[in-house]
A = this chain, B = another copy of it.
């Protein structure tokens, strides 16, 4: 049952709005919507605009938060977050350590998968903004700590680092990983990828660095071709203890 301050998405024919019942009235091209009528509804239920047009209600998924959440920095793309999940085999039994939180998008995806996520962010303001996004999302198993990840001493199944990487970060991650656990480092630049790899080589049992070139295939009337838009995002280094 949806509460007054829960985030929901209402949509009709491919158009969507990211709202809270407490937001009051929403003007759309389908007519005015009284959002308070959402309170007490279930996902899948339907509400109407003043002019009688139907809108269906659903709960947002991680991919919606990627689309709608406030961003303090450029977040990792869902494709790269997915690669981290797939290559580490992240699952619902895992305790995951993450830094830096940034806009919180990666941590929100991980919290949708893992038992618990602890995410560190050094900039207090970014941490506070990410906490709002997380609370907005109704996510319970994600703790955002404003501080330095190097202070963390609890043990984890997966550590994910997307920050200004140093060798110390890799050594620290190793020290808080359970045997068989994974460290995943996302690094936009080659040199940081090399640093991750070199720091891990004699410490971890397995270490591989990857580049993923992902291309949207444009399929139009003239034919099909790979999009000429962005295809590089970053390098991912996966290390196993």
Contacts and interface: CB of A to CB of B under 8 A. Distances in A.
A197 interface: yes
Contact of A180 (B58, B188, B232): B58
Contacts of A44: 178-179
A113 interface: yes
A43 to B, nearest CB: 8
A212 B212 contact: yes
Given A179-B11, A190-B190, A217-B210, A61 B91 contact: yes
A9 interface: yes
A238 to B, nearest CB: 9
B92 A92 contact: yes
B189 A224 contact: yes
Contact of A85 (B85, B205, B230): B85
**Which of A58, A86, A112, A215 counts the most B-chain CB atoms under 10 A from its CB?**
A86
Number of copies of this kind of chain in the complex? 4
A79 interface: yes
Interface string A100-123: 000000000100110000000000
A41 to B, nearest CB: 13
Contacts of A228: 229-232
A37 interface: no
19 contacts: A11-B180, A44-B178, A58-B178, A58-B180, A62-B91, A63-B87, A64-B89, A82-B87, A83-B86, A188-B223, A189-B222, A190-B225, A192-B223, A194-B224, A208-B217, A209-B217, A211-B226, A212-B215, A215-B231
